[in-house]
Amino acid sequence: MIHNKIYVAITALVLLFCKPSEAFAPNEDGVIQLYSQRELLALIAENTHLQRVRADDCQLVEDIKARAEIVQLPSYQFLYGDMLAYGVCVKRDEKYGVYMMEQSAHQGLVEAIEQLGRYYHIGKFFQPNTKRALYYLTEAASLGNLKAQIRLVEILADEQGSPVDYERAYHWLYNSIIADDEKKQYVTELLTKLAQLMPPSVIERAQRPLIK
């Protein structure tokens, strides 16, 4: 047991302090390099992380698992959780996959927080639970996640949830930067719908800039 603990501790230190290029550099056989933190976060933000794992022929499963379970990096916990939940390059295990997503969310990865809120809302892996959905989505929306902001306003505009939350949900989405014109038009319509449930004075406050 002691030797196992020492091995785990040493492995964690190597994974944590070595740069990916040092610890997992491609060898002569063309082994694929492990993703950097910046690269993985970008893949997660674009929702292409599972596609990338498949495209890499599942060569990095053990390295991903180690960074998720031993080093407990939230980005890798999220990646590994998704892999387990959908059976990508590993045996499907929805329960442990969701657990890893929750660990990532508890460490503050906003994409994990938004995803849990979305799953509670649509009933994916969980029984539908609007109260829990709002809890996670509100947290992710406050951290600037556009997907969470849109879904939060959608729920509130359908008169689910508390009117107490209307102002801040409107405020976050109203001040979001949206490049896509079609999405921007949808957000405008969504805000108009929510505004119909709010007094003019509250709308005015909600339209204040993020920084005064």
The domain limits of the chain are: 1-21+32-107, 109-212
At 72, list the tokens: 């407990």
Single pTM value for the model:
0.81
Q: Which pLDDT tens digit goes with each residue over 35-93? A: 888 999 999 988 999 999 999 999 999 999 999 999 999 999 999 999 999 999 999 99
Confidence band for 199, pLDDT divided at 50, 70 and 90: very high
Residue 9, pLDDT above cutoff 50: no
> To 10 degrees, the CA torsion angle through 55, 59, 61, 64?
-80
Average confidence score pLDDT of the chain: 87
Q: Is the dihedral of CA 134, 212, 177, 105 positive or negative?
A: negative
Residue 23, pLDDT above cutoff 70: no
Q: What distance in Å separates the CA atoms of residue 116 and residue 35, rounded to the nearest whole number?
A: 24
At 105, list the tokens: 């969310």
